[in-house]
Amino acid sequence: MTDDADLMVHAMIGRLFEEPEPTHRTDLADSAIAHGMAATRRRGFAVAGATLSVLAVVAGAAVVSGGSQGGGRFGAGDTGASSQAYEDSRPTYADRQREVSEQLPAVLRPLLPAGVTVSPDQTQAGTGVDMQSGDYLPALMLRFEGSDFRLTFDGADAGDAAGYADTFAKRSVAPVPAAGGTIRVLIDPPAQTPSGPHGSSSWYEFAPADKAEPVLRFWIYGDSKVSPIDVAAFQKMAAEPGFAALRRLQDPSIRASAAAVQERYTIEAKINAAARTVLPPGFRLKLNPGAPGSLELVGPDGVNTFFWESLTGATAPVPCSVGAVCYSGHGLTSMKKLGPDGKARLGIYVGYTGPSTASSIMLHVFGLPGAGMESDSAAIGKPGSETAAQGHGLTPQEAMAIIQAPDAAKVIADVRALVAVK
């Protein structure tokens, strides 16, 4: 495998910031993350919520749950009845991926070797999306002998298959017989450096004897020298009755259940109950059908991918004066102040919530879910998942109505908690 994935992630963040990527950490050590990403991924990821959250670090800001002050010459307006159009009653791609993520820990737990525990990966929070395909790749956190490991299930497209086959061939990894098929396992020990070992990476593949069935692939990386799953353990997993359930969860041909569709409606009802006092008249929110854990903004003329963030701190994330709304079509350093011209736009809006620079709100309003480096990270998702027309975005007045609505910061925090994939 090449380092393309690492470079694509860095390039995406660089495009957002138009400057070098800031340093950040997750629960796993930086060395393990860097090693795992560079060694095991050919493709890039967009972390829609987490990537944009780095803005808070750069600005010396933090996500808050406090209220905001209303007012301003734009005027917040009165909330009106939001349109119920553009809702898809059929199972969506995101419905199925949310269902998979919710069931994965319980299905995987009895298959794991003794001493290995599993839990949802809260550092990812359901936002890992393949930038080239739009596939959502669910991740879990394993714990073994005092060390944490991230387990990510991989897609089954032709590019992945070729990448895995090339990696296994170069390392002379031969298939090993297993119940119902064959397995291949490649475990890279930590690389030694003057400062100590970097993280280890492991690749796993189960190829069913029936070639019509999908191949199951996943990879693990962490700081420990010992992988929590070796060849013998993977063979044993494949022989367990519950392994079939794990394979079904990863089968892309299986659609979401009726219960998953109903769960979407239930979440959306809670979201809009929280957001009705913040959104302008005629607008509501719905779950993005192409990217689990993400939102879409529904307006009178269509839908747009949507991400919002509340920031607090004396240092402004972008140059914008109090009482104004600023806008950019892409990066943050090209922001310009807009007046209430009534023109709907796709892009990034930001403004202060009150009469000081104590808190601000940022809105990302873009097109339908898609994949590729030219897409804003908030819009990365499975292409073709959204059947509704694309909306025109927000006007400066509508953006400011959200930014200066009372309790907007608390609403944003509440909605993000409801949307997150558990």
CATH number at residue 206: 2.60.120
pLDDT over 50 at 181, yes or no: yes
Whether 45 is in a domain gets the answer no
**Better pLDDT: 249 or 130:** 249
Does 98 fall in a domain?
A: yes
What is the pLDDT, as a whole number, of residue 373? Answer: 76
Instruction: Over range 311-326, report the average pLDDT.
Output: 77
pLDDT value for 61 = 35
Q: Which domain holds residue 122?
A: 94-249
262: CB partners within 8 A, 6+ apart: none
Q: What is the C-alpha to C-alpha distance for residues 314 and 308, in angstroms, rounded to an integer?
A: 19
Q: Are residues 221 and 321 in the same domain?
A: no
Same-domain status, 199 and 294? no
Looking at per-residue pLDDT, the higher value among 355 and 77 belongs to 355
With respect to residue 32, please indicate whether it lies within any of the assigned structural domains.
no
Are 200 and 282 contained in the same domain?
no
Quick check: is 10 in a domain? no
Over pLDDT 70: what percentage of the chain?
73
Q: Are residues 172 and 157 in the same domain?
A: yes
CA distances from 115 to 143, 145, 222, 378 (A): 8, 7, 16, 38
> Using 50, 70 and 90 to split pLDDT, how confident is the model at 17?
very low
pLDDT score for 372: 84
Instruction: With respect to residue 49, please indicate whether it lies within any of the assigned structural domains.
Output: no
State pLDDT tens for residues 238-251: 999 999 999 999 99
b/e per residue 48-64 (b: at least 16 CB within 10 A): bbbbbbbbbeebebeeb
Q: Pick the most confident of 118-127, 300-309, 312-321.
A: 300-309
- 239 and 186, same structural domain? yes
Based on the fold, state whether residues 280 and 409 are members of the same structural domain.
Answer: yes
Same domain? 202 vs 286: no
**Which of the listed residues 224, 249, 274 is the one where a domain comes to its end?**
249
Section 22-39 average pLDDT? 40
- Mean pLDDT lowest for which of 251-255, 354-358, 382-386, 407-411? 354-358
Residue 422 has pLDDT above 80, yes or no: no
Instruction: Specify the higher pLDDT residue, 161 or 50.
Output: 161
Span of 108-117, 193-202, 362-371, 378-387 with lowest mean pLDDT: 193-202
Are 103 and 69 found together in one domain?
no
* pLDDT tops 50 at residue 208: yes
Angle in degrees, CA 88, 93, 95, rounded to 5: 75
Classify each residue of 229-260 as buried b or exposed e, where b means 16 or more C-beta atoms within 10 Å of its C-beta. Answer: bebebbbbbbeeeebeebbebbeeeeebeeeb
Backbone angles phi, psi at 7, to 5 degrees: -65, -40
Cβ contact 333:320 at 8 Å:
no
**pLDDT over threshold 50, residue 103:** yes
Reply yes or no on whether the pLDDT at 265 is more than 80: yes
Classify residue 306: in a domain, yes or no: yes
Mean pLDDT of the chain: 79
| Tally of domains within the chain | 2
- For residues 141 and 283, membership in a common domain is answered with no
Of 189, 215, 249, the one marking the end of a domain is: 249
Neighbours of 294 (CB within 10 A): 26
Predicted confidence at residue 46, as pLDDT, reads 59
Same domain, 314 and 369: yes
**pLDDT at residue 194, rounded to an integer:** 57
The CA-atom distances, in angstroms, between 227 and each of 142, 155, 203, 414 are 10, 22, 10, 38
Is the residue at 46 inside a domain?
Answer: no
Residue 287, phi then psi, degrees to nearest 5: -75, 140
353 is a domain residue:
yes
pLDDT of residue 195: 57
Mean pLDDT of 273-291: 95
Q: What confidence score (pLDDT) does residue 413 get? A: 95
Q: What is the mean pLDDT of residues 76-89?
A: 58
Q: Is pLDDT of 40 > 50? A: no
Question: Do 106 and 149 lie in a common domain?
Answer: yes
Residues 118 and 172 in one domain: yes
Contact 219, 185 (CB under 8 A): no
The residue from 190, 220, 249 where one domain ends is: 249
